[in-house]
Amino acid sequence: MSVKRQVLRAEVQEMILDRLTQGSWRPGARLSIDGLARDLDVSPTPVREALVALERSGLIRYQALKGYVVAEPLTPQQIAELIDARVVIETAAMTRAFAHWEELTADLVEAHAAHQALADRIAETDEPPYELIHEYFLADAAFHEAIFRHAGNRFLDSMRETIHAHAHRMRQTWSAGPGQIDSAEAIAEHAAVLARVQERNHDGALQTLRTHLEAVGERSGGMQEAAQE
């Protein structure tokens, strides 16, 4: 696949993601490849490739005789499984990233500052627009992406991309309303992870990262509710 084609597919995927996370389509709504191609003014090929990638994340699904449809929001059990997967791959990535401790620390400091700035903007806004929430969740994801970037394992990074955790959280947070944005908690938990990394405390960094992810699951309605099923 050419670089130009990869970039186009990524752009198309991001545009479809925006519509999914904003609730532009009801769960069960059919996503026509040809219709999306016309709407986005691209050929059907990058649309098809983007939908295949999004299917792996669980945001859409393929239905016989109907094609791609918008998936229901994650159930509590699915949220719990998503968090479990994140714990497995992110702690593995953190262990490997410690081999590049100085670069990891610098990138986490930068990512945390950008995330904090967006959290402050949200705190100052009564009803933050989608664009601001989108930026916030991308900054949140960037903090975690820094860990994978220094892990030096392309397959771990591929697993992270497949999960699309930030997109699931954006989708469910946007539908629940601005009051469900957990910016204060997430910032504090990221700060704790960063502090352990700055101390070069490997075991402490793993524990605070695990604690953060499990807290995200609880705030998303997954961990406790799934345990009761």
Cross-sheet strand order for the sheet of 67-70 = 30-31, 67-70, 60-63
Q: How far is it, in rounded angstroms, from Cα 101 to Cα 106?
A: 9
Give the chain's count of helices (H) and strands (E).
11, 3
Which residue type is seen at 212?
A: H
Does the pLDDT at position 67 exceed 50? yes
Res 228: pLDDT: 44
Mean pLDDT of the chain: 89
Does the pLDDT at position 51 exceed 50? yes
pLDDT digits (tens, 9 = 90+) for 204-214: 999 999 999 99
Name which CATH class applies to 3-70.
Answer: mainly alpha
What CATH superfamily is the domain 76-228?
GntR ligand-binding domain-like (1.20.120.530)
The predicted model gives 29-47 an average pLDDT of 94
For 204, residues 6+ apart whose C-beta sits below 8 A from its C-beta are 196
The confidence band for 8, taking pLDDT boundaries of 50, 70 and 90, is confident
Res 89: pLDDT: 97
Q: Of the given ranges (70-84, 107-121, 195-209, 212-226), which has the lowest mean pLDDT?
A: 212-226
Residue-wise DSSP of 175-221: HH-GGG--HHHHHHHHHHHHHHHHTT-HHHHHHHHHHHHHHHHHHTT
For 218, residues 6+ apart whose C-beta sits below 8 A from its C-beta are 224
Q: Higher-confidence residue: 223 or 221?
A: 221
Q: How far is it, in rounded angstroms, from Cα 165 to Cα 193?
A: 19
For 96, residues 6+ apart whose C-beta sits below 8 A from its C-beta are 150, 151, 152, 153, 156
Tell the burial category of 7 from Cβ atoms under 10 Å away from its Cβ (0-12, 13-18, 19+). Answer: exposed
The predicted model gives 13-19 an average pLDDT of 91
Q: Are 33 and 51 in contact (CB under 8 A)?
A: yes
Q: How far is it, in rounded angstroms, from Cα 60 to Cα 197?
A: 36
Indicate where the chain has its CATH 1.10.10.10 domain(s). Answer: 3-70
pLDDT digits (tens, 9 = 90+) for 104-139: 999 999 999 999 999 999 999 888 888 998 899 999
Indicate where the chain has its CATH 1.20.120.530 domain(s). Answer: 76-228
Res 226: pLDDT: 40
Tell the burial category of 136 from Cβ atoms under 10 Å away from its Cβ (0-12, 13-18, 19+). Answer: buried
